[in-house]
Chain A
Amino acid sequence: MERIYIQDDNARITKAGDNLLNVELYDGRKFENVEARRLFPITGLDKYITLLDDEGVEMAVIRDVQGLMPESKKSVLDALEEYYLIPKILEIYEAKEEYGLLKMNVRTDRGKYKFDVKNRNMDIKILYDGRVLIKDTSDNRYEIPDFYKLDGKSMKRFNSFL
């Protein structure tokens, strides 16, 4: 079966209940109550968003959310915002090791938070563009958008664990 790609103005996407979306293609086909998921949640963010029905079957793929009509774009971004929680770490108040756990106290774009990282080697990933991806002991995700743009103290506090 050929995959349906949504781009630019070839579809109107509106919000349905429970963080779901309704999609109406320019040729009249409709998909109701679909869920938006990133195909590349780490590297792609707003590109290649798959739309799944309640059985998890893919109905269509949005090539680039940024290219959609403004209302459709907003609906999709809201849905993604609701689904994905990857707080961006803006400042590191404390990073210390205690009994094999890395204990972090940070300020994020979602507020202040404390969490623990169990396996530093597996749970902290440094990408070449300076992004740092962190997974805590409960499987929650965090991101430092650009490690080299953190303030000096934060960099120093965390640097020894990278």
Chain B
Amino acid sequence: MLSGDLLSNRKLPESFSEACEKKLENGEQAMFSLVGDLNLKSKYGESAIVVTNKRLFAFDQYHQDGIKIIPIADIKEAKVKRMYGNAILRLKTGQGSVDAFRFTYSVASLADAAAAFLEAVAEGKNAEKEVEAVAATYDKMKSFCPKCGRSLSRQGAQCINCASKGTLVKKLAAYMAPEKKKLIFCLMLSVITTTMALAPPVAQRILIDDVLKGENDENRRIMLVGVVISLMLIYIVQYSIGAWRGHLMRVIGDKTVTRLRNDIFAKAQYLPMSFYDKTSTGSVITRVSGDTNTLQAFMLRVSQEAVVQFFLMIGIIVIMLVMNPILTLWSLIPIPLVVWGARFFGHKISPIYRRIWRRWSAVSSILSDTLPGIRVIKSFTSEERAIEKFENYNEDWLKEDMHASVIANVFPHVITFVVTCGSLLIWFVGGNQVIDGMDNPETAKLTAGTLISFISYASMFYGPVNFFASMNDTYQNAMTSAERILDIIDAEPEPNFGKGNVIHRIEGRIEFKNVNFSFDKTKKTLSNINLVIEPGDIVGIVGTTGSGKSTLVNLLMRFYDNYEGDILVDGRNIKEIDLQSFRSKIGYVQQEPMMFRDTIFKNIAYSNPDSAVEEVIHAADIANAHGFIAKLPDAYDTMLGERGVGLSGGERQRLSIARAVLKNPSMLIFDEATAAVDSETEQLIQEAIDRLISGRTTLMIAHRLSTLRKANKIIVVDKGEILEFGTQEELLALRGKYYKLIEIQGLAEKIQKSREEENFA
């Protein structure tokens, strides 16, 4: 059998392991295995590949004798062919094409790594070295916890089950640690209030047995006053402390959650772009808002409520046992039923509420689809269809809600009935004991007062019991939130290899040396990029959508660092320069500029908050923005809505250029800055850009080639490769892709211009 330490996504079936072991040749060493879940005929079943330094062993019942052995040296191409819900590792050898291994997407990324390994070793690269990349992928993509075997929430995630036992709790406890003293103090207050909560039933007993049934009239009245005053004092202290404790707990909770939110937000600022490529911003927002609240509630519940409820439960049971052990046992009878009933109700009602929520979101989605799109509905005269659809969805919601109403109202009453039956049982058993005691005072086991007091304790007992019964669900919810939060807190921030290597000025010489880049390792986004841009060059980057233009500047901005090759600025590798210092020297103007919910002044001064008023006005002047700003009623004090609501696209763009002017960058990048505006606005923006770029190395991504008039060099990118690079004249003389684009756009722009002229005529 192969070694148990063999790199594998899960345990290799013994039969495969033994078969492989028998066939290994001298000097042949198994490097890794990949266990799949489908056979070649797309049925679920055992299949696997074992890759050695020389051969590939593919195990599948549909291979002849259940095994296919392919020498790696014969492999000309190894590809993972992704289909719908399944994929195949297809190998091209001298004898033709072989489908070696079929699998679901669960292991597709690992199969990619295996294919890359096979191709690299087939090309003669060192197997020992190549397997390191496979191991790294396995580690990153593991979908099962190696410790406990549970499946992970996503590939490469931390196992909540294992982490929760130590790390998770420890990490979260760190956020509460500064409040330790207050927490202990709150706990002490809780003990006081809990003890006081246990007192009223005792007073009840005294009232009934000693005051109401007492013999001496005067003493009874004095005692009555005494008991009432005592109870009054107890209630005053209990509720005062309760309010104080509640306030303290809220402060502790708020401080903890503030700390947690600050940390997540701060961490989110430094996360690499690759994190945001995989995680939606909406999900990050939920983690900062919703998940932190869930966690805060849980932490307080565990650190405070659990302790209080535990003491309360113990206190009640001890008192009850002391009062009457037999009756205590009787009163415990309904407990399992109540616990089971509460849990059953919880499990029964929560899916119904989930369904109601789903039905309701369907209704809401129609509202949010149709009302803003009312023009479309009217223009297609589809009002009746919209009404019918809304009525259907609303009907679904109604059915579900009526269903919930039955359960939501019947179950709590059933449980209350069971609890009441429990009380009746105590009344019956205890009542008999009281009557026996009345008939025969010497052998009295129970007085009427004790019985009343006992019943009060018994009903109090259900509180902590239910608290602990629902603890597991709360725990699971909290751990899921914790995992989502730690996903951000523990994520690797943007690497800043050159921290401290601050640069003061960039001349602007940019060099890409053998740069290759892929977002997900399945498809190369940039291949073999080599180019040199001289200081002061104005370089236009053109190409079709998805050709890799933006990725090129994203690498230069260091949004992604995991590329092969080197990018040099002024002869220095950009990875060796302090990240913040490097980015501060680059002005970046996007197609859809981001404005913040603030005044126009602050939005322009965003790049340099200490700018003087006149500097900001001057920047707005250069950006052709001052004119329209001055005409606004609140001018520079105009408050912009979220994402710059209140301004047109062209106006927002000019503000973003003003922002770049104020930054005074050494290099400039324009990512389709004029793509979303009309020709007239484009001219205004173009003027602004022309003023800004003078003397600075500039990269301009452009769809409209007319915006590249000033460019002295053009890069044509196609399918991730540089197709053409040179001056406008050189490329036109080449009559290649750039020439074709000029021809197409020349015609298109003529048409657009004539249309615009017609419209303005």
Q: B347: which A residues are within 8 A, CB to CB?
A: 160
A81 at the interface (CB under 8 A from B): yes
CA A141 to CA B154, docked complex, whole Å? 16
CA A18 to CA B90, docked complex, whole Å? 9
Q: Establish whether residues A118 and B154, one from each chain, have CB atoms under 8 Å apart when the complex forms.
A: yes
- Enumerate A117-162 residues with CB–CB distance to B below 8 Å: 118, 120-121, 136-141, 159-162
Pick the residue among A83, A103, A120 that contacts B84 (CB under 8 A).
A83
Q: Establish whether residues A83 and B151, one from each chain, have CB atoms under 8 Å apart when the complex forms.
A: no
Using CB atoms, name the residue of chain B closest to A86: B85
Chain A interface category by residue count: 35 or more
CA A84 to CA B97, docked complex, whole Å? 20
Q: Establish whether residues A99 and B42, one from each chain, have CB atoms under 8 Å apart when the complex forms.
A: no
B401 at the interface (CB under 8 A from A): no
How many residues on the B side are at the interface (Cβ–Cβ under 8 A)?
A: 39
Instruction: Pick from B475-483, B587-595, B631-639, B749-757 the stretch touching chain A.
Output: B475-483
Q: A111-B45, A113-B37, A118-B153 are in contact. Are A141 and B85 (CB under 8 A)?
A: yes
Q: B573: which A residues are within 8 A, CB to CB?
A: none
A30 at the interface (CB under 8 A from B): no
Using CB atoms, name the residue of chain B closest to A99: B160
Q: Contact flags (1/0) for B77-96 with A, using CB distance below 8 Å?
A: 00001011110001000001
CA A97 to CA B108, docked complex, whole Å? 25
Q: Contact flags (1/0) for A57-88 with B, using CB distance below 8 Å?
A: 00000000000000000000000011111110
B106 at the interface (CB under 8 A from A): yes
Q: Establish whether residues A81 and B153, one from each chain, have CB atoms under 8 Å apart when the complex forms.
A: no
CA A157 to CA B105, docked complex, whole Å? 26
Q: Establish whether residues B43 and A83, one from each chain, have CB atoms under 8 Å apart when the complex forms.
A: no
B104 at the interface (CB under 8 A from A): yes
Q: A84-B83, A85-B83 are in contact. Are A101 and B42 (CB under 8 A)?
A: no
A116 at the interface (CB under 8 A from B): yes
Report the minimal beta-carbon distance from A132 to chain B, rounded to whole angstroms.
Answer: 13
Q: A85-B104, A159-B351 are in contact. Are A121 and B43 (CB under 8 A)?
A: no
Q: Establish whether residues B106 and A85, one from each chain, have CB atoms under 8 Å apart when the complex forms.
A: no
Q: Establish whether residues B44 and A110, one from each chain, have CB atoms under 8 Å apart when the complex forms.
A: yes
Report the minimal beta-carbon distance from A162 to chain B, rounded to whole angstroms.
Answer: 7
A41 at the interface (CB under 8 A from B): yes
Report the minimal beta-carbon distance from B154 to chain A, rounded to whole angstroms.
Answer: 6
Report the minimal beta-carbon distance from A37 to chain B, rounded to whole angstroms.
Answer: 8
Q: Establish whether residues A138 and B84, one from each chain, have CB atoms under 8 Å apart when the complex forms.
A: no
Q: Establish whether residues B86 and A99, one from each chain, have CB atoms under 8 Å apart when the complex forms.
A: no
CA A113 to CA B106, docked complex, whole Å? 12
Using CB atoms, name the residue of chain B closest to A126: B358
A56 at the interface (CB under 8 A from B): no
A22 at the interface (CB under 8 A from B): no
Q: Establish whether residues A17 and B97, one from each chain, have CB atoms under 8 Å apart when the complex forms.
A: yes
Report the minimal beta-carbon distance from B103 to chain A, rounded to whole angstroms.
Answer: 10
CA A53 to CA B321, docked complex, whole Å? 83
Q: A113: which B residues are within 8 A, CB to CB?
A: 37, 44
Q: Establish whether residues B476 and A138, one from each chain, have CB atoms under 8 Å apart when the complex forms.
A: no
A28 at the interface (CB under 8 A from B): no
Q: Establish whether residues A162 and B355, one from each chain, have CB atoms under 8 Å apart when the complex forms.
A: yes
Q: A100-B480, A113-B37, A140-B104 are in contact. Are A82 and B351 (CB under 8 A)?
A: no
Q: A116-B151, A140-B105 are in contact. Are A110 and B351 (CB under 8 A)?
A: no
A98 at the interface (CB under 8 A from B): yes
Q: Establish whether residues B84 and A99, one from each chain, have CB atoms under 8 Å apart when the complex forms.
A: no
CA A85 to CA B83, docked complex, whole Å? 8
Q: Contact flags (1/0) for B131-154 with A, using CB distance below 8 Å?
A: 000000000000100000001011
Of listed B37, B44, B83, residue having the most chain A CB within 10 A: B44
Q: Establish whether residues B154 and A85, one from each chain, have CB atoms under 8 Å apart when the complex forms.
A: no
Report the minimal beta-carbon distance from A21 to chain B, rounded to whole angstroms.
Answer: 15
CA A101 to CA B483, docked complex, whole Å? 12
CA A93 to CA B83, docked complex, whole Å? 28
Q: A81-B42, A112-B44, A162-B355 are in contact. Are A138 and B483 (CB under 8 A)?
A: no
Q: Establish whether residues B161 and A99, one from each chain, have CB atoms under 8 Å apart when the complex forms.
A: yes
Q: Contact flags (1/0) for B145-177 with A, using CB distance below 8 Å?
A: 000000101110000110000000000000000
Listed A/B pairs (19) with beta-carbon separation below 8 Å: A85-B84, A85-B85, A86-B85, A87-B44, A97-B476, A99-B483, A100-B480, A100-B483, A103-B151, A111-B43, A112-B44, A115-B106, A137-B151, A138-B108, A139-B105, A141-B85, A159-B351, A161-B351, A162-B358
5 closest A-B pairs (Cβ-Cβ)?
A: A160-B351, A100-B480, A111-B44, A85-B85, A85-B86
What residues make up the interface of A, taking CB atoms closer than 8 Å to B? 17-18, 41, 81-87, 97-101, 103, 108, 110-113, 115-116, 118, 120-121, 136-141, 159-162
Given known contacts A84-B84, A137-B143, what 10 new A-B pairs fall within 8 Å (CB)? A82-B42, A85-B83, A85-B84, A87-B44, A100-B153, A100-B480, A100-B483, A111-B44, A137-B151, A160-B352
